[in-house]
Every structure is written in C-alpha cells, then in structure tokens.
Amino acid sequence: MIYKEKKKPELKITVGKGEELVIKVSGKTARHVFEKITDNSKVWDYLEPANITSKEKKYSMRADVAPIIISYVLLNRRSPKPEKWDWYLDEVLDGRLSIAGKSISSLVEMFFTLSNTFGYKESSDVLTSMFKTFADKVRKYLH
C-alpha cells in the first residue's frame, strides 16, 4: 500500500517486488481511505512500514488482511462520498462481518483471477459495483 501526499493525493495497492499496480484511488478519497485504514488500531498488527517520508508512506501488509483492505479500497473506487463505506471496514475488522469473510476473500480472489484476463483496471470496474451491492445487501440483512 502506497500513499503519496501531493496536490492530488494518491493511494495505490500494489503487488510484488515490482510493485505492479492493482488499484488506485486519488484526491480526497485517497486521503480518507488511507487515514481510515492507518488510524484503525485493529490494522496496526497487519501493516509494516516499508518506507515512510514526508511525501510518501509505503506499507507492506500481511496476506490475511489484504482481502479486507483491497475490498475496502474497491468500495471507495470512484466513490464521491468515501465516508459512506467506513462502516464496512469497521465491521469487518471488529468481526461483525466475519460471517462474510470467506465471501470477501473469494471476491478478491475473483478480482485477481479476472485481472489475469482483463487487467487490473477492467477487473476493478467489474468488482467495484459487485462489492458495493454485496456490502449493501450484507449490511441490510445483518442489521
């Protein structure tokens, strides 16, 4: 996970040593999502600072939290109101959505499978709307 503070902030999720771009959000959404992730004490054990400067903050994340972070970033991709999805990250990390944990991992796995055929941007387009529908329905039935 790489956050760059600049005129229009960027948050990128990358994979591998070559840092292949998986997902990118920018602007106020990038700042909000990054702060929401890094301000949550339940995530601290899963993130490891790799390179922190005043302009860039780079973290590696453990594989067991990656689907949660990726799904949260996908929910916020092209979202005009990123705070709308804050409940999702909180509830998944608090365990209230643990019933959906395997489904979240499966959807993220599908994202990576699709990316082999379509590429990450196109796969993000497909999965973003799926995650939003999934999250809304799960929340409706759990509350």
Considering the entire predicted model, what is its pTM? Answer: 0.88
pLDDT(91) > 90: no
Tokens matching residue 80: 């005009």
Chain position carrying tokens 């999502």? 33
The percent of residues in the chain predicted with pLDDT above 70, rounded, is 97
Q: Which residues pair with 18 in a beta bridge?
A: none
- pLDDT (tens digit, 9 = 90+) per residue, 1-48? 999 999 999 999 998 877 888 899 999 999 999 999 999 888 888 899
- Residue 124 CA to residue 23 CA, distance in Å, equals 7
Question: How many whole angstroms separate alpha carbon 1 and alpha carbon 21?
Answer: 10
143, pLDDT greater than 80? no
> What's the CA gap between 67 and 92, in Å, rounded?
11
- Position of tokens 């509350």? 143
DSSP the chain: -EEE-SSS-EEEEEETTTTEEEEEEETHHHHHHHHHHHT-TTTGGGEEEEEE-SSEEEEEE-TTTHHHHHHHHHHHTT-S-GGGGHHHHHHHHHTTTGGGHHHHHHHHHHHHHHHHHH-HHHHHHHHHHHHHHHHHHHHHHH-
